[in-house]
Amino acid sequence: MNLFRLVRRVVDGSTKLFYYLSMAGVLFIAIAVFYNVIMRYLFRNPTYWSTEVTSVMLVILTFLGAGEILKQDHHIKFSLILDRLSPKGRRVFEIINSILGVLFCVILVWQGGRATEMVYTNNMRMPSLLGTPLSIPYFFITLGALTLALQFFFRIVDEFSVLGRR
């Protein structure tokens, strides 16, 4: 097995794990919101943590699941444009789109990493009762952008290999 295939298997496995963690996060958010509603309206004793925890979880699961969504080709597409292209034109369009996706994600990883380091070093926290460290959601934004960038890169490789066979 060559190095590229090994790296791809590791990234694909990690991306799938992050996707399943995101699905579990959605379930956790639903349970936490339900619990808070019950506590607030039946017992007149709302939780102080629910809003903050579910907000942070929403950010985390959005970015962690993005790579697998791209890999499964379940992201939003502008089919109005794609339907008018030839099969080769679609592949070229996907390559251009994926290159732009990689560039965006690389910038997000770079700037997200810098921001994560800054909020971690300065011990910055959310202004709330829990005081959640801002480095937690920032880290997961950066990690999600990294997996998304790698999946965009794999898509470019796949599209070029299909174009090269024709």
Query: For position 81, what pLDDT does the model report?
Result: 81
Q: Do the beta carbons of residue 56 and residue 20 sit within 8 Å?
A: no
Q: Alpha helix (H) ranges present in 42-134?
A: 50-71, 79-82, 87-121
Query: For position 77, what pLDDT does the model report?
Result: 78
The model scores a pTM over 0.85: yes
Query: For position 132, what pLDDT does the model report?
Result: 95
Which tens digit of pLDDT belongs to each residue from 31-62? Answer: 999 999 999 999 999 999 999 999 999 999 99
Backbone angles phi, psi at 128, to 5 degrees: -150, 180
* Distance in angstroms (rounded) separating the CA atoms of residues 4 and 62: 27
Look over the chain and give the mean of its residue pLDDT values, rounded to a whole number. Answer: 93
Nearest to 56 by CA among 128, 106, 120, 109: 128
- Residue where the block lists tokens 């997000």: 108
Query: For position 166, what pLDDT does the model report?
Result: 62
Nearest to 148 by CA among 70, 33, 80: 70
Nearest to 73 by CA among 161, 159, 162, 160: 159
Residue 161, pLDDT > 80, answer yes
Provide the b/e sequence for 80-109 (b: ≥16 CB within 10 Å). eeeeeeeeeeebeebbebbeebbeebeebb
* Distance in angstroms (rounded) separating the CA atoms of residues 149 and 113: 14
